[in-house]
Amino acid sequence: MTRYGLDYGGYLSPTQITSAATPTPPTFVMRYLREIGAGEIATLHAAGIDVGMIFEYPADVGPGGIPSPLGGYNQGIADGKLALSQLANLSAPDIAVYYTVDFGPKRAQLKVIAQYFKGIASVFPFARIGGYADYSTVGYLFNNSLIAFGWQTVDRSGTNFNSRCVLYQYKLYQQIGPVSTDFNEAFADTFGLWTSA
């Protein structure tokens, strides 16, 4: 089953979401765990919209002033624990969290990124760990058994797509009201969403 969804920061109403110019109306959103609240989730669920969770610091700059995946194992532990705490504050069920590599890493940085995901897996259930990245990076994460779910962005990916991914961010920077959104295609019914059913 193919379904469509949006990812964005800020707030969109269910009506704004379902009005997006995707091939069929969006049925899910991917939202930043750091900013979504229980009230917004309830509103989305009441409209039949499922919610996925993204872990990323603002502008993807972690506590050390660098993208958090470059913080290695210890940063992975810290981020995994923080994600669990944020989920608990929302009274969330056992859903996935997609940790982002929102830049084009150099080859030498991949081993550090691997340690980051190993740190996450030391405190966060592996079956619920998702990774967001470009084509080559998401392939590295899969090849090294670092993620259970893959979400690929078109950015820095050219025309390549890794078929192991359940999500593909295929169009960037689409304006809906005051919010810039990205359009996503999903290739599975289940990929760790907090479902409305």
| Structural contact between residues 6 and 181, judged by C-beta atoms closer than 8 angstroms | yes
Query: Number of folded domains in the chain?
Result: 1
For residue 18, being part of any structural domain is answered with yes
For residue 15, being part of any structural domain is answered with yes
Residue 75, Cβ neighbours under 10 Å: how many? 22
d(CA 32, CA 37): 10
For residue 26, being part of any structural domain is answered with yes
pTM comes to 0.97
Task: Give the per-residue pLDDT at 63.
Answer: 86
Count of residues making up the chain: 197
For residue 151, being part of any structural domain is answered with yes
For residue 23, being part of any structural domain is answered with yes
d(CA 62, CA 112): 14
CATH (domain of 163) = 3.20.20.80
12-32 pLDDT, tens digit per residue, is 999 999 999 999 999 999 999
Helix (H, G, I), strand (E, B) or coil at 14: helix
- Which domain range does residue 75 map to? 3-186
Give the residue from 195, 17, 1, 194 showing the smallest Cα distance to 98: 194
Backbone angles phi, psi at 5, to 5 degrees: -155, 175
DSSP state, residue 24: S
Task: Give the per-residue pLDDT at 121.
Answer: 98
For residue 192, being part of any structural domain is answered with no
Residue ranges in the chain whose pLDDT is less than 50? none
